Amino acid sequence: MKRLIVNGDDFGASRGINLGVIEANEKGVLTSASMMVDRSASAEAARLVARLPTLGVGLHVVLPSQAAAAVAEQEVQRQLERFIELSGQLPTHIDSHHHVHRDPRLLPAFLAVAERRRLPLRDHCGVHHISTFYGQWNGETHLEHVSPNAMRRIVSSELEEGFNELCCHPGYVNGDLESSYSRERQTELETLCDPETAALLREREIGLVSFRDVRAP
């Protein structure tokens, strides 16, 4: 059976992102989110989670790509503890902003924390990661890549048997968000909330799940 985690990155980055994640979960197919813990809207995101029992929330670690490997594990651990302080619970999984955990110098730090807490780590937990639902390529906006047609293509050709994670970035853009990825976020939100998207998943008998359903290795 094909199972799909629809995960919204950047939760906590701004109030507009928070609103988009909540809406995509309540009115759309979003099942999971990854929360930043040191942003202005992080505490608000943690409070909102309490009213969303169907939303699994993981830790979205923010590390500069030039971070020293020697201190990376300490920083990942600190952000994990901050997540627990804000939300009162462990994250459902761990991933990272701009996928810095894929850097071979930094990966051991992420693996150490994930294994110690028995948490799934993106790319290292038996979940097929899908990154093509993204509206900006080569520095140019391509909203067609986050349209209902794009979702239909992904569901038809990119899902594998077992667990899959569709990475997305839904949200509203307001003044407290500094990001080059802006109007693409609202188009993503519209697609996730489009009734045709939910109908497509039902038609293909694809089960919507979160990282709560994934056992850490």
Taking 90 as the threshold, does the pLDDT of residue 182 lie above it?
no
pLDDT of residue 197: 98
User: What is the DSSP track for 43-61?
Assistant: HHHHHHHTT-TT-EEEEEE
Compute the distance between CA of residue 62 and CA of residue 151 in angstroms, rounded to an integer: 28
pTM: 0.96
Compute the distance between CA of residue 126 and CA of residue 56 in angstroms, rounded to an integer: 17
Beta carbons within 10 angstroms of residue 64's beta carbon? 12
For residues 146-165, give the mean pLDDT: 98
63-122 pLDDT per residue, tens: 988 899 989 999 999 999 999 999 999 999 999 999 999 999 999 999 999 999 999 999
Compute the distance between CA of residue 65 and CA of residue 88 in angstroms, rounded to an integer: 29
CATH class of the domain whose range is 2-213 = alpha beta
Tell me the CA distances in angstroms from 174 to 15, 38, 40, 166, one per residue in order. 8, 18, 13, 25
Compute the distance between CA of residue 26 and CA of residue 192 in angstroms, rounded to an integer: 11
Compute the distance between CA of residue 212 and CA of residue 182 in angstroms, rounded to an integer: 29
Where do the domains of the chain lie?
2-213
